[in-house]
């Protein structure tokens, strides 16, 4: 996949933050200095900085610039739809994905208050590890149709990339619910949770641009390793 210039710049700055070239509390060079450093336009630099802001790596402060935030925890944006592979590349996490299970089955009859009647699906369970520590367990039901197939090896790479490039499906939006619950024994074991077995669960319903539901996801996160960020702008009604 060919990266845009602003994605490449964001990745480079993220790497410098990760390896403490830019430390927590430091201000990044000004937009003008970054333009000169990367040989690009201010619009491109602003897109890169916006991406870093969405990832929770920096905070823009009016009149001062962009300050580096604490990234001791991995940050995953909840709003928007971003694949784990895209986040891994953006944050240089060097994460590994292991497919634990992939089978054809029936989707749950009910998921997030949505009734799903006798719907065939491809079930995929994937474990995400960073520095050999299990941090996320994803359980996905890809509904068939519209997802007609999922070849071996795709789930270890990027399901969304396959859906968009090979099946020509346009992933559009999702609704999500976030809870903290006691994990089932098998999930607690896979994520190596503490004795309390508490886990953050992000459940989501994902849709195509024609409003077709195509994916049900339960994503289990270690609460000690992840924080979730969102961005909201006040709208006067």
Tokens 């944006």 map to which residue? 77
Please report the pLDDT score of residue 62 as a whole number: 83
User: What pLDDT is attached to residue 34?
Assistant: 96
Among 99, 80, 78, smallest CA distance to 226 is for 78
Q: How far apart are CA 89 and CA 11, in angstroms?
A: 7
Query: Which residues of 131-170 form beta strands (DSSP E)?
Result: 133-143
Single residue among 74, 95, 111 that ends a domain in this structure: 74
**In a domain? residue 219:** yes
Question: Domain ends where: 19, 42, 74?
Answer: 74
Pair 91, 198 in one domain:
yes
pLDDT, averaged in runs of 10, over the chain (237 residues): 82 86 92 95 94 82 85 54 59 77 96 91 94 91 95 91 93 90 96 94 92 95 75 55
Q: Is there a single domain that holds both residue 14 and residue 90? A: no
Predicted local distance difference test score (pLDDT) of residue 149: 93
Q: Check: CB of residue 20 under 8 Å from CB of residue 14.
A: no
Question: Is 120 found in the same domain as 56?
Answer: no
The CATH code of the domain that includes 64 is 1.10.10.10
Same domain (yes/no): 138, 35: no
- Domain containing residue 58: 5-74
Same-domain status, 116 and 207: yes
- The residues, ordered by sequence, that sit 6+ positions from 36 with a Cβ below 8 Å of its Cβ are none
Whole-model pTM over 0.75 = no
> Do 20 and 116 fall into the same domain?
no
Model pLDDT, residue 217? 95
Return the residue matching tokens 């937009």. 31
């Amino acid at each position: 996949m060919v990266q845009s210039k602003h994605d490449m710049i964001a990745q480079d700055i993220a790497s410098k933050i990760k390896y403490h070239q830019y430390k927590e509390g430091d201000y990044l060079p000004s937009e003008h200095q970054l333009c000169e450093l990367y040989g690009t336009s201010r619009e491109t630099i602003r897109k890169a900085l916006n991406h870093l802001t969405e990832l929770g790596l920096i905070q823009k402060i009016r009149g001062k610039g962009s300050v580096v935030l604490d990234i001791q925890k991995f940050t995953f944006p909840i709003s928007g739809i971003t694949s784990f592979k895209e986040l891994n590349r953006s944050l240089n996490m060097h994460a590994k994905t292991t497919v634990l299970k992939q089978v054809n089955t029936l989707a749950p009859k009910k998921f997030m208050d949505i009734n799903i009647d006798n719907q065939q699906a491809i079930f995929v369970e994937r474990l995400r590890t960073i520095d050999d520590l299990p941090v996320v367990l994803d359980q996905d039901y890809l509904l068939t149709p519209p997802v007609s197939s999922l070849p071996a090896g795709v789930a270890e790479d990027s399901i969304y990339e396959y859906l968009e490039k090979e099946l020509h499906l346009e992933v559009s939006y999702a609704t999500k619910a976030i809870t903290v619950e006691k994990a089932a024994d098998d999930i607690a074991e896979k994520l190596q949770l503490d004795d309390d077995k508490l886990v953050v669960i992000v459940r989501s319903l994902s849709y195509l641009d024609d409003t077709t539901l195509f994916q049900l996801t339960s994503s289990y996160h270690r609460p000690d390793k992840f924080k979730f960020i969102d961005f909201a702008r006040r709208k006067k009604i």
